[in-house]
Structure 1
Amino acid sequence: MERYGKPELRATTVLGVIRNGKAALGSDGQMTLGNTVIKHSTRKIRRLRQAQIVTGFAGATADAVTLLDRFEEKLQTYGGLLERAAVELARDWRTDKYLRRLEAMLAVVSPEKALIISGTGDVIEPEDGIVAIGSGSMFALAAARSLMKHTDLNAADIVRESLLIAADICIYTNDHIVLEEV
């Protein structure tokens, strides 16, 4: 697919799960440009707030890093209150002339909360504690929901197995998994 006359960059499956007081967030490592894989080991997740929050991104890398930096600033401004920082970032993202042009989504997990933050002003807290963004997100989400319902796997194992299932289905997802647990 093309966007603005250039091949569309597709890059990501990010999945986060909260289970039994633990949170895990992982991503694959594949980045593609058009129909070509250009990198197999892209790191799309980052720890914030003294490693108590893990974030992941889907979309343009420079845009995502800009948003992660802004999110970290919001966390500091609001004393680590995850929801408040997320809402303030989403508000700024939607209303700021510069930020509004950024093309990315964020997935955020802590042991208590799982959120998706989008540039449309949405802050979504799924009822089941599972967040998924990116090209293979719906495959990973379906796998994670099934594993949550039918197994006793911990959060990290659910994320890992779900991403591997997504990698078997989605051409924009690979099996070079990076995973963080809090």
Structure 2
Amino acid sequence: MAETSFPGWHGTTIIGVKKDGRVVVAGDGQVSLGDTVIKGSARKVRRLSPGGYDVVAGFAGSTADAFALLERLESRLEATPGQLQRACVEMAKEWRTDKYLQKLEAMLIVTDGDQIFVITGAGDVLEPEHDVAAIGSGGNYALAAARGMMDSARSAEEIARDAMTIAADICVYTNGTLTVESISK
């Protein structure tokens, strides 16, 4: 089957919310192939602990590609313990220049409880404004919902969960089965 006729993997919404000294990363569990839901309970948010240094990462895109990127990030974190930004920049440079990695189709949100970064295959390492980052097919919905709640009395986890509920109500590639990880510095 030609690549142009392959329906492609769609979906996922990942959000990172930083508030009151805590960062929460939440992701839905839906994996879709075209217009078919393949799995509803995938775990797209993970805790990494290279060398005892805790990082939470969420991914959108191809699962195999994301796992390859998470392995690279982990090795970069081991090489630069406690330096999340440096590890992210080094991985993004490698992602952009390596012929194998250039073909990977995924995005990451990573945090150490202090900083949040969005890492893309275009070589971007973005620190979001307003302490909220979101990626994936429902990312813009979750981002808008979370930004609207940031001045409320809600906690980071409540904001992330409520924003994901709103995204799941709007985006057909996002469901309400969540994986939520919390981390503080």
Partner of 1:86: 88
Q: Could you report, residue by residue, the CA deviation over 1:73-128 in whole angstroms, capped at 9, with x for unpaired residues?
A: 00110113000000000000000111111110001122211110000000000121
User: Matches of 1:165 and 1:30 in 2, distance apart?
Assistant: 15
User: Matches of 2:47 and 2:88 in 1, distance apart?
Assistant: 15
Partner of 2:156: 155
**Aligned-partner residue type, residue 144 of structure 1:** A
- Please state how far the C-alpha of 1:33 moved relative to its aligned partner: 0.6
Partner of 2:165: 164
User: Matches of 1:116 and 1:104 in 2, distance apart?
Assistant: 11
**Aligned-partner residue type, residue 155 of structure 2:** N
User: Matches of 2:137 and 2:129 in 1, distance apart?
Assistant: 22
Q: Does the C-alpha gap of structure 1 residues 39 and 129 become closer, same or farther in structure 2, counting only changes over 3 Å?
A: same
Tell me how many residue pairs correspond in the alignment: 180
Unaligned stretches of 5+ in structure 1? none
SS in 2 for 1:179: strand
Unaligned stretches of 5+ in structure 2? none
Q: Could you report, residue by residue, the CA deviation over 1:48-96 in whole angstroms, capped at 9, with x for unpaired residues?
A: 1347311010111000000001001001101130000000000000001
Q: How do 1:26-175 and structure 2 match up within 5 A?
A: 26-49=26-49, 50=52, 52-149=54-151, 151-175=152-176
User: Matches of 2:42 and 2:28 in 1, distance apart?
Assistant: 8
User: Matches of 1:105 and 1:23 in 2, distance apart?
Assistant: 18
SS in 2 for 1:7: coil
**Aligned-partner residue type, residue 156 of structure 1:** E
Check conservation: 1:17, 1:109, Cα contact below 8 A: no
- Please state how far the C-alpha of 1:3 moved relative to its aligned partner: 5.0
- Please state how far the C-alpha of 1:28 moved relative to its aligned partner: 0.6
Runs of 4+ in 1 over 4 A off after TM superposition: none
**Aligned-partner residue type, residue 154 of structure 1:** S
Check conservation: 2:12, 2:61, Cα contact below 8 A: yes
Percent identity reads: 49
SS in 2 for 1:128: helix
User: Matches of 1:159 and 1:145 in 2, distance apart?
Assistant: 10
CA RMSD between the two structures:
1.3
**TM value normalised by structure 2:** 0.94
